[in-house]
Amino acid sequence: MYKRRQCREVSVGNVKIGGNNPISIQSMTNTDTRDANATIAQIKRLEEVGCDIVRVAVPDMIAAKNIGEIKRNVNIPVIADIHFDHRLAIEAIDQGVDGVRINPGNIGSIEKVKEVVNKCKEKNLKIRIGVNGGSLEKELLQKYGSATAEALVESAMGHVKILEDLDFRNIVISLKSSDIYKTLEAYELISKKVDYPLHIGITESGSVKKGTIKSSIGVGALLLKGIGDTVRISLTGDPCEEVVVGKEILRSLDLLNDKIKVVSCPTCGRCNIDLISVVNEVEEKISKMDKDITVAIMGCAVNGPGEAREADIGIAGGKGEGLLFKKGEIVRKIKGDDLVKELMDEIDKY
Ligand code: SF4
């Protein structure tokens, strides 16, 4: 049974992370943030597929100054991703960003950290400490020999201490490695040390296909341990794919806000309807619906009637036609060509 790790709650714009809030899905734009229009257009697409929070890279002052324009044109909270230069964080905050991803140990003097922290306190913004196996401090690499789970945790705890010493606790932490085992170990270790929300993901997990599989295993394993308050799936591809995959992982574990479930068979030589197209079309059409409903779409009479009966609405395929079930009862036969339309009509009415 799923038992979520208890942690404090942190707000990012109108999205709350941690506590008993739904696990949110994040992504990161891959447009040049200096091109506000392209970045806004991509965030709009991310909103459409259900992204809850978006992060944008802020590599220079032009990008930081664009945050205001971006914020005015999008609806989801925007996080500024900053490395090393605290002035970019200050500018992004002044431009109305909803949170900052910055590692306080990497921005130089404590005075600079204080400046960022005070700004965040003033605007009630969170800071995400994002430790990544690929950019670990040299001393820790020397101490541990490589980016081990312990090294990731020690790095994160160092950043946490800097913020806590400044009486700042509006913190979210991520500890990412491209290695699933290290990631699991690191999150398990840190989850016992702090009560801050955890942003989870397997970093640099690869192309859409490979990365989806790797992330599903890694993120799925963490979620099953009750670890994870916000998720980012890192894929080499369109960021919208990250959101779709993230939502599907949560949905598979019954952790997504929407309740719609599709049960479909893999098809085999017994299938006499174009089940694959029907399932793809129906899944696409219902992806934005928010209904508590299970729909079964099955290929034949072997397992079809059983699954279709268990579902709220079901189809069991026959020879060029499908048998429609509602709440366990056979309702009527539907011609193969009309399956999608009639199934959608039934789902709409449900
Ligand atoms: Fe094959 Fe029928 Fe099972 Fe689908 S339900 S996989 S068509 S036996």
Report pLDDT digits (tens) over 16-42: 999 999 999 999 999 999 999 999 999
Band of pLDDT at residue 308, cut at 50, 70 and 90: confident
Residue ranges of the annotated binding site for [4Fe-4S] cluster are 265, 268, 300, 307
Say if ligand 1 is within 6 A of residue 127 CB.
Answer: no
Cα–Cα distance, 275 to 147 (Å, whole number): 46
Q: List domains and CATH numbers for the chain.
A: 9-252 (3.20.20.20), 261-349 (3.30.413.10)
Residue 337 is given by DSSP the state G
User: In sequence order, which ranges of 17-109 are alpha helices (DSSP H)?
Assistant: 36-48, 61-73, 86-94
Say if ligand 1 is within 6 A of residue 298 CB.
Answer: yes
Ligand 1 atom with least separation from CA of 269: 1
User: What integer best gives the mean pLDDT of the chain?
Assistant: 94
Q: What percent of the chain has pLDDT over 90?
A: 82
Burial of 77 (0-12, 13-18, 19+ CB in 10 A): buried
Radius of gyration of the chain (CA): 23
Q: 267 C-alpha to center of ligand 1: Å?
A: 5
Say if ligand 1 is within 6 A of residue 304 CB.
Answer: yes
CA 296, 301, 304: angle at the middle one, nearest 5? Answer: 15
The DSSP annotation for 239-291 comes to: HHHHHHHHHHHHHHTT-SS---EEEE----TT--S-HHHHHHHHHHHHTT---
Burial of 35 (0-12, 13-18, 19+ CB in 10 A): middle
Cα–Cα distance, 212 to 36 (Å, whole number): 29
Q: 20 C-alpha to center of ligand 1: Å?
A: 39
Cα–Cα distance, 278 to 339 (Å, whole number): 7
Q: Is the pLDDT of residue 259 over 80?
A: no
Residue ranges of the annotated binding site are 265, 268, 300, 307
Q: Is the pLDDT of residue 257 over 80?
A: no
ipTM over the 0.85 cut-off:
yes
pLDDT tens-digit series, residues 137-176: 999 999 999 999 999 999 999 999 999 999 999 999 999 8
- Choice from 300, 309, 310 to test ligand 1 binding pocket (greatest atom count within 8 A of CB): 300
- Is residue 233 within 8 A of residue 212, CB to CB? The reply is yes
Encoded amino acid at 35, one letter: D
Burial of 31 (0-12, 13-18, 19+ CB in 10 A): middle
Q: 278 C-alpha to center of ligand 1: Å?
A: 14
Say if ligand 1 is within 6 A of residue 301 CB.
Answer: no
Say if ligand 1 is within 6 A of residue 266 CB.
Answer: yes
Ligand 1 atom with least separation from CA of 271: 7
Band of pLDDT at residue 106, cut at 50, 70 and 90: confident
